[in-house]
Amino acid sequence: MSGALHDLGVAALAARLKAREVSAVEAAQHFLARSRAHQALGAYLAEDEAVTLAQAAAADARLAAGDTAPLLGVPIAHKDIFVTKDFPSTAGSKMLAGYRSPFDATVVRQLAEAGMVSLGKLNCDEFAMGSSNENSAFQPAKNPWDATRVPGGSSGGSAVAVAAGLAPAATGTDTGGSIRQPSSFCGITGIKPTYGRASRYGMIAFASSLDQAGPMARSAQDCALLLSAICGPDPDRDSTSLDVPAEDFSRGLGDSLQGLRIGVPKEFFGEGLAADVRAVIDAALAEYVKQGATLVPISLPRTELAIPVYYIIAPAEASSNLSRFDGVKFGHRAAQHGDLLDMYKKTRAEGFGDEVKRRIMIGAYVLSHGYYDAYYLQAQKIRRMIADDFQQAFKTCDVIAGPVAPTVAWHLGDHGNDPLADYLADIFTLPASLAGLPGMSVPAGFGEGGMPVGLQLIGNYFSEAKLLNAAHRFQQATDFHLRRPAGY
């Protein structure tokens, strides 16, 4: 690796800032220039150099005063699902084009208080609905490993920014895999914590019982530093925030894996898994065995049901959450309309994209009279069973490992006329989301076309430290997380 700032992860850049080898302003200027040079990737939706440099100057002042906060002065960019005072907050939708929030999301505020410098807002699928970032109303983000391919979604812009060295770290959100899948497709590390560990306040809601914030960065060490800053209770603003204190997730990094029991679900290795992905995952599991871990065969029998269950529950919650976008108080309003009902119809028809409309309609249908019991209620019952399957598995293993996605990143437009193909790509990430469990993607190798493949690690509730250590030990023995796409 060269000594360029964009080759450094969060921990390494923080060390250089503390040693005063580089200033926060210089680091911010470097990444802003990188972003301008690689605009064709479509990673950013909003930037403001004056805001960024003012934050960097404030960080330099804290560093000069002897402040030793671990993230002080390190740049970060935020998925455009998080509302921000200093940048527009659009959720990747025309419905919110140009919207300015009067406050920062809790996660944004926590990272700012830790001294991180915001580079801007990152592209995403509209209202976080998608697996490819092609549903952004403004432009699709492109995978830096192959610009003809998708970066994954919905946190596609976040994954692109980190993979291409346009930011050392980014925030993402994971409703059904939207941190883990783009991390896998772009060869970076990302973690979704236990549901409720990070505040949802200020995250533009998609499915409230599933949405969860998490960090995306180069390494498990970097993710541990970021996760330590954003976890913790937020009872005054988020009623689903858990009363579990923040912890230092980097403290246990490097612990031995001797005796670690890794559950390998047979349902994750069936006919739908591409041979190139399977080969990478098998090799990663073999590395864990070399480090003293034991592989334990397990079963998650309701894995296939996760797709229909998720695509009933998530659209149902989306139809409710997105009802607020009606052109009355904020956001887009149709310029030409008749009465109030006509304004509602035209505003929503103009403001929402096809995938958002599709999910709103599905959600309204499954919640309607006569169908609630047949669909939504049954889906919630099976969701509970999926969670029980995991608890049964954790009686015999400490963590669960498998692929993040059945294939490597597909080409832009491949799923254009087949939304079900996108849905099926989430089969391995949805179960943990429905159960509210922590999960992460760890760069594990490369498959067809030289595209990255991620290893998924899933833990029991509040076992983020265990997952991060398992990922860290793997990264100490391999260099997949250090490899960069050509030209970046």
Q: Is 35 a catalytic residue?
A: no
Q: Is 357 a catalytic residue?
A: no
CA atoms within 13 A on the CB side of 425: 25
Pairing type for strands 212-217 and 44-46 reads unpaired
Options 23, 136, 178, 433, the catalytic residue:
178
Q: How far is CA 194 from CA 199, 231, 435, 439, 462, in A?
A: 11, 10, 9, 8, 6
Pairing type for strands 75-79 and 452-459 reads unpaired
Options 35, 93, 154, 241, the catalytic residue:
154
Helix (H, G, I), strand (E, B) or coil at 287: helix
Q: How many CB atoms lie within 10 A of CB 70?
A: 18
d(CA 232, CA 214): 12
d(CA 23, CA 29): 10
d(CA 208, CA 244): 19
Match 């049954």 to its residue by tokens.
378
Instruction: Name the nearest CA neighbour of 227 among 187, 194, 260.
Output: 194
Q: Yes or no: say if 345 and 336 are a contact pair by the CB < 8 Å rule.
A: no
Options 79, 121, 192, 346, the catalytic residue:
79
Going through 248-349 in order, the beta strands assigned E by DSSP cover 261-265, 294-298
Instruction: Name the nearest CA neighbour of 198 among 242, 157, 148.
Output: 242
DSSP H helical ranges for 175-258: 180-186, 220-230
Pairing type for strands 169-174 and 294-298 reads unpaired
What strands lie across the sheet with 399-403, from one edge to the other? 44-46, 117-122, 75-79, 169-174, 212-217, 189-192, 439-446, 452-459, 399-403, 261-265, 294-298
Q: Yes or no: say if 440 and 192 are a contact pair by the CB < 8 Å rule.
A: yes
d(CA 18, CA 409): 38
Q: Yes or no: say if 269 and 303 are a contact pair by the CB < 8 Å rule.
A: no
306-321 vs 354-366: helix crossing angle, rounded to 10: 100
d(CA 122, CA 92): 9
Q: Is 329 a catalytic residue?
A: no
Instruction: Give 479: exposed, middle or buried? Use CB within 10 Å, 0-12, 13-18, 19+.
Output: exposed
Helix (H, G, I), strand (E, B) or coil at 118: strand
Show the tokens assigned to 278.
């399977």
Question: Cα(first)–Cα(last) distance of the chain, in Å?
Answer: 12
Residues with a catalytic annotation lie at 79, 154, 178
